[in-house]
């Protein structure tokens, strides 16, 4: 066993010789960016070895690290195993998602949660009235006949009854008695709405009396260490029941971390959280519940379940009241999950007038086309391009990420946090490509301009940024002297191709839905962009690169984390929860892999065509 210390957190773990540094970091629970899951293909898991020990630089490292980095002791943590005690400095990552946000907003849902509190005063027992404690309590509650016996509540009931001098508060979830508390605690009644994304998990701590968000928090999905996309997570889970458990524990650990922190900040005990409503894509829901997702990956993409699932929190280890219900909203199909059902709830998809296209782009892209009494859904692997993976200088929307690009006489950037750029996130990428296309740096087919007649049309400062290297054609977004890393930040021809594949798949999905409904894209009355990502995209750029149909920009709206909003609504209202089941059943899922037209539409979708 050797000790490994991670800086800057100073976290120490003891592990066996032979463990990779990446695995050590995962064990220590410190954040390392890794989108390939340790395969050595993403080049993102950089760290600096602070201990003077001999090691060999691998060919993979030569590919991803420059000479000065190598000299300074930077390695890819997946490429080295532990041989002795060592200290490792990780790249500092201030994740914008980790900034705790305070919503004051009321979700516009009639407040009718399934969890209710009742303050009751009971008569004391006598030899003439030997009614058992349970019956004494229950007969004072609404619909006593329907209330089932709960061992764990009964276990503490006698003490609570007598501690509170026969005055107590009962917590009911429908007909389930969840807890008894001495005295009057009716004013304190909480729940959590949870959105489990492949990349980010978000928790909203809700006041069930008021229907408001008390506070919220988010972290990177700790499963990230096993790969950026759902397929690599499924592959890991399939390799053994302990691996499945590992993934489950990771995400629940992440959620518990947020919940503890939010509770501590607000002076709330975790046992005062009586219910959780969870949304996530189908794979995330399987992993969260510890249900084997193996057969979601190969055709015919079979999920284990589709319906809404209710499980006691203690069964999952989620840190709320042990017998509180964790409700995972229903999914539609293998790749259209409860997060999409949440989006349907939040947008009232079935009640929108005319024809609406709803697009939720994350690590996967889910599309809903609703109108003409139909609710069509499909999904495509959007590709991790939008999350920054598979793009050489790609990164998540964290501090130092380029999120906006304008090209006039030269390149102008918006960088998250306002400092020097470290890389580029999805919205920056879309902007950059749209701008490059508009000024002529790239052709409609996506190729860089190198012909003299193409180049001479470019402003001189822009022209200087187009270059051929021994490895690739590329465009320099940030010169080394202006970057946070001291190296040029570039977009390569391959990066452009990745984005083309991603947006081509999404556009093809949209076109299949449009055809299925028997309309043309111009008949779409509104486009709703869901997801944090949707909030940051410049609508014009999205249309320019052909990620969205060429529609008047005023028809395009961003709606934020609609999946999370749906979870909140289902937490606050039994009616909305019932509607989630109806929407999931109403939805007609179009399996794109089953459509001959898909390949054709996909190829059509690769080119850049510009706006109308």
Cα gap 290→307, rounded to integer Å: 16
Site membership for its own copies, residue 21 (CB under 8 A): no
Contact 536, 598 (CB under 8 A): no
**Binding mask of the shown chain, residues 251 to 290, with x at each position contacting its own copies by CB under 8 A:** --------------------------------------xx
- Residue selected from 53, 299, 480, 550 as contacting its own copies according to rule CB under 8 A: 299
Nearer to its own copies, 223 or 492 (CB): 223
Nearer to its own copies by Cβ, of 36 and 230: the residue is: 230
Please report the DSSP string for 64-117 in residue order.
Answer: HS-HHHHHTTEEEGGG-B--S-EEEEEPP---GGGS-B---PBPSS--B-SEEE
Residue number, 306 or 374, with CB nearest to its own copies: 306
Binding map of its own copies across residues 86-125, x = CB under 8 A, - = no contact: ---------------------------------------x
Judged by DSSP in three states, 390 sits in: coil
- Order of strands across the sheet that contains 176-182: 115-121, 167-173, 176-182
DSSP conformation class of 153: H
Counting contacts by CB under 8 A, is residue 156 touching its own copies? yes
147 sits near its own copies (criterion: CB under 8 A): no
Q: Which residue, among 68, 86, 75, has the nearest Cα to 40 in the 3D structure?
A: 75
Q: From the CA atom positions of the chain, what is the Rg in Å?
A: 27
Instruction: Check binding of 591 to its own copies (CB under 8 A).
Output: yes
Among the listed residues 10, 151, 518, 554, the single contact to its own copies using CB under 8 A: 151
Determine, following the binding rule CB under 8 A, whether residue 381 of this chain makes contact with its own copies.
Answer: no
Contact 44, 227 (CB under 8 A): no
Distance CA 437, CA 474 (A): 14
Interaction of residue 67 with its own copies, rule CB under 8 A:
no
Q: Is there binding between residue 126 and its own copies (CB under 8 A)?
A: yes
Kindly state the smallest distance separating residue 364's Cβ from its own copies, in Å.
17
Strand partners, 75: 47
> From the CB of 333, what's the least distance to its own copies, in Å?
6
Is there binding between residue 596 and its own copies (CB under 8 A)? no
Closest CA to 83 of 133, 131, 49: 49
The gap from C-alpha 311 to its chain's centroid, in whole angstroms, comes to 22
Is 142:175 a contact under the CB 8 Å cutoff?
no
* 532/360 Cα distance (integer angstroms): 9
**Closer CB to its own copies, residue 14 or residue 123?**
123
Select the residue interacting with its own copies from 18, 105, 132, 552 (CB under 8 A).
Answer: 132
Measured from the CB atom, is 160 or 542 closer to its own copies? Answer: 160
- Residue 388 binding its own copies, by CB under 8 A: no
Q: In terms of CB distance, is 8 or 310 closer to its own copies?
A: 310
What is the C-alpha separation between 531 and 528, in angstroms, rounded?
10
Window contacting its own copies (CB under 8 A); options: 63-71, 301-309, 417-425, 434-442: 301-309
Verify binding: residue 306, its own copies, rule CB under 8 A.
yes
Q: Is 146 helix (H, G, I), strand (E, B) or coil?
A: helix
Q: Is residue 242 involved in binding its own copies (CB under 8 A)?
A: no
Q: Output DSSP code: residue 147.
A: P
Residues 463-502 that bind its own copies (CB under 8 A): none
The closest of 51, 48, 53 to 72, measured between CA atoms, is 48
Please state the closest distance from residue 314 (CB atom) to its own copies, in A. 9
Separation CA 393–CA 575 (nearest Å): 46
Q: Which is nearer to its own copies, 315 or 525 (CB)?
A: 315
Q: Does 309 bind its own copies (CB under 8 A)?
A: yes
Cα(476)–Cα(464) distance, integer angstroms: 9
Tokens coding 403: 């999120």
55 binds its own copies (CB under 8 A): no
Query: Is position 594 an interface residue for its own copies (rule: CB under 8 A)?
Result: yes
- Residue 255 phi/psi, 5-degree rounding, is -65, -45
Closest distance between its own copies and the C-beta of residue 256, in Å?
Answer: 18
Interacting residues with its own copies (CB under 8 A):
125-135, 149, 151-152, 154-159, 162, 289-292, 294-295, 299-307, 309-311, 315, 333-334, 589, 591, 593-594
């Amino acid at each position: 066993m050797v000790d490994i210390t991670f800086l800057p957190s100073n976290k120490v773990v003891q592990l066996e010789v032979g463990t990779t540094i990446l695995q050590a970091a995962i064990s220590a629970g410190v954040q390392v960016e890794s989108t390939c899951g340790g395969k050595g293909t993403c080049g993102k898991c950089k760290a600096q070895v602070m201990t003077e020990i001999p090691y060999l630089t691998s060919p993979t490292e030569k590919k991803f690290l420059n000479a000065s980095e190598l000299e300074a002791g930077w390695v890819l943590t997946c490429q080295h195993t532990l041989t002795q005690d060592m200290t490792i400095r990780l790249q500092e990552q201030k994740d914008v998602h980790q900034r705790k946000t305070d919503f004051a907003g009321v979700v516009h849902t009639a407040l009718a949660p399934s969890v209710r509190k009742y303050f009751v005063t009971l008569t004391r027992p006598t030899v003439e009235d030997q009614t058992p404690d349970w019956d004494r309590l229950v007969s004072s509650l609404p619909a006593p006949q329907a209330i089932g016996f709960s061992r764990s509540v009964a276990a503490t009931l006698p003490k609570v009854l007598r501690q509170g001098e026969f005055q107590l508060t009962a917590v009911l979830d429908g007909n389930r008695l969840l807890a008894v508390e001495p005295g009057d605690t009716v004013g304190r009644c909480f729940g959590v709405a949870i959105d489990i994304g492949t990349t980010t998990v978000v928790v909203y701590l809700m006041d069930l009396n008021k229907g408001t968000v008390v506070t919220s928090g988010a972290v990177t999905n700790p499963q990230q260490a096993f790969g950026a996309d759902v397929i690599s997570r499924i592959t890991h889970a399939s390799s053994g029941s302990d691996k499945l458990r590992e993934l489950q524990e990771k995400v629940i650990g992440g959620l518990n971390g947020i919940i503890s922190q939010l509770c501590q900040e607000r002076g709330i005990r975790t046992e005062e959280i009586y219910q959780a409503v969870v949304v996530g894509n189908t794979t995330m829901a399987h992993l969260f519940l510890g249900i084997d997702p193996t057969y979601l990956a190969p055709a015919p993409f079979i999920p284990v379940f589709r319906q809404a699932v209710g499980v006691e929190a203690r069964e999952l280890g989620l840190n709320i009241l042990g017998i509180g219900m964790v409700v995972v909203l229903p999914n539609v199909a293998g790749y259209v999950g409860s997060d999409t059902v949440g989006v349907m709830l939040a947008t009232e998809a079935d009640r929108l007038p005319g024809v609406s296209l709803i697009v939720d782009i994350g690590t996967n892209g889910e599309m809903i086309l609703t109108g003409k009494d139909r609710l069509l859904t499909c999904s495509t692997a959007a590709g991790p391009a939008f999350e920054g993976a598979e793009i050489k200088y790609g990164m998540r929307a964290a501090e130092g990420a380029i999120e906006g690009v304008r090209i006039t006489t030269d390149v102008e950037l918006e960088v998250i946090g306002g400092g020097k750029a470290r890389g580029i996130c999805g919205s920056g990428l879309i902007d950059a490509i749209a701008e490059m296309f508009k000024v002529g740096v790239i052709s409609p087919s996506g190729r860089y301009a190198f012909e003299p007649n193409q180049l001479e049309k470019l402003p001189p400062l822009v022209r200087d940024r187009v270059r051929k290297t021994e490895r690739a054609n590329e465009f320099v977004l940030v010169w080394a002297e202006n970057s946070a890393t001291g190296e040029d930040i570039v977009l390569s021809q391959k990066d452009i191709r990745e984005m083309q594949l991603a947006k081509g798949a999404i556009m093809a999905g949209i076109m299949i839905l449009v055809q299925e409904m028997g309309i043309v894209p111009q008949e779409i009355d509104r486009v709703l962009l869901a997801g944090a990502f949707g909030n940051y995209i410049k609508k014009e750029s999205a249309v320019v690169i052909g990620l969205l149909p060429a529609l008047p920009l005023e028809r395009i709206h961003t709606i934020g984390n609609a999946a999370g909003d749906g979870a909140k609504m289902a937490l606050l209202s039994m009616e909305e929860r019932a509607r989630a089941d109806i929407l999931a059943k109403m939805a007609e899922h179009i399996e794109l892999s089953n459509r001959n037209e898909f390949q054709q539409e996909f190829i059509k979708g690769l080119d850049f065509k510009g706006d109308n």
